[in-house]
Structure 1
Amino acid sequence: MSGHGFHVHGPHDHAVEHAGHSNDKFAGNIAVTTAILATVGALFGYQGGATQNEAAMYKNNAAIDKTQAANSWSYYQSKSSKQNLAELAMILPGVDPEKYKAEVARYKTEKEDIKKDAEKWEASSAEWNKKSDAMMHTHHQWALATTAVQIAISLAAITLLTHRKWLLYTSYGVAAAGVVLGICAAAHVDPLAFLGGGAHH
């Protein structure tokens, strides 16, 4: 009498109950797997965002140093123009060439210092660009790893609906690939480079 909280179990009820427990275990395993993958995916996504921000910062530093180099070269050109005028003045009649000779020598010395400064800024800009490109490469690896984990989660969800074990195994395989990509990104190693006999640093 179920109205009083009692229920008599028949053979069919026991079978359904057993099947329910079996399904609950299967669903529980998928739920745990999905939760783990979601956590891993969140960590990968965070790293992807962080590396993208670093790449942007490096690119900004490269632009700043490039501007500094351009300013130095402009200053260099200004000194060259003054040197040329001083050299021209030396050959004019009625002037003291020694006076302008000293100026020419001073401009030459100043130009050398400015040139070194400009080249230093250019080298620094190139280095920042190199770092930015490397960081963007790492960002793309994190993005691929995150995508793989998200696909694995989707496959796990479909498995829950279809109860196809091969889908679950496929989900595990894709998740494993995502984890490998994540490890490679953390280690700054390009997995594809191994096929060509090299690694990205």
Structure 2
Amino acid sequence: MTHDPALEAHEHAEHAEHAAHEHDPFISRVSITIAILAVLAAGVGSLETIEAGGAITSASEAVLKQDQATDSWNEYQADSLKKHLYGIAADTKGPKAEDYAKTAKEQVAKQAEIKKGAQEKEAERDRLMAASGLHEHRHHWLTGAATMLEIGIAICTVAIITRRRHFWLGSIALAVVGLALFGVAFLT
């Protein structure tokens, strides 16, 4: 069974509207509270899903950048071997010694470019991993916020059934905790 915050919010709003038709002021207030909490839970749940996707996407892109950096470092090592081989060939003072020495110097310049590219890819990998961590951090806090709001909705339902004010106030307290967790997700 999939979790659809928008559908759940709509269902809770319908239940709240139905209960409001009883013309009891307490039931009306609790019903309105349910509707508000349902909308908040749907919004927080959607943001939670977005942050989870962002964490996964950033981590995947970081792995790709690491693979690219590894390929660059492998190329750097291969060119290092070529440079040394051409250097040894140039030291033999054979007929192509000057060509070998020139090629060895070209390898040094090529290696500098490859090294720079590999380091840039590693820096991008680090940036992406930090972004993934931030998304994951937000996701955890948003999960808590959505949970508090959804529990608040359930307790509002108990308040309607029992007609007990302390359940309604408890649900409002849970909503405040949920909103605080929402704030922490984006402030820390």
Q: TM class, shorter-chain normalised? A: 0.7 to 0.9
| TM-score of the aligned structures, taking structure 2 as reference length | 0.82
Cα distance change of structure 1 residues 22 and 111 upon mapping to structure 2, 3 Å threshold: closer
The residue type equivalent to 1:53 in the other structure is G
> 2-side partners of 1:122 and 1:184: how far apart?
30
Looking at CA atoms only, which structure, 1 or 2, has the larger radius of gyration? 1
* Aligned: 1:37 with 2:42: no
> 2-side partners of 1:66 and 1:153: how far apart?
45
Q: Point out where structure 2 has 5 or more consecutive residues left out of the alignment.
A: 1-20
Q: Point out where structure 1 has 5 or more consecutive residues left out of the alignment.
A: 1-20, 190-199
Alignment partner of 2:92: what SS?
Answer: coil
The residue type equivalent to 2:71 in the other structure is N
| TM-score of the aligned structures, taking structure 1 as reference length | 0.77
Which residue pairs with 1:184 in the alignment? Answer: 184
Which residue pairs with 2:24 in the alignment? Answer: 24
Quick check: 1:89–1:95 contact (8 Å CA) kept in 2? no
* Aligned: 1:85 with 2:85: yes
Deviation at 1:184, TM superposition (A): 3.2
Quick check: 1:69–1:122 contact (8 Å CA) kept in 2? yes
Which residue pairs with 1:61 in the alignment? Answer: 61
CA deviations over 1:155-179 (Å, ceiling 9, x no partner): 1111222222222211111111111
Report the more deviating stretch, 157-166 or 88-97.
88-97
Report the more deviating stretch, 159-168 or 129-138.
159-168
C-alpha RMSD over aligned residues: 1.9
Cα distance change of structure 1 residues 77 and 22 upon mapping to structure 2, 3 Å threshold: closer
Quick check: 1:37–1:175 contact (8 Å CA) kept in 2? yes
> 2-side partners of 1:125 and 1:116: how far apart?
14
> 2-side partners of 1:123 and 1:36: how far apart?
44
Quick check: 1:153–1:171 contact (8 Å CA) kept in 2? yes
Q: Identity over the aligned pairs, expressed in percent?
A: 27
> 1-side partners of 2:118 and 2:78: how far apart?
14
The residue type equivalent to 2:46 in the other structure is Y
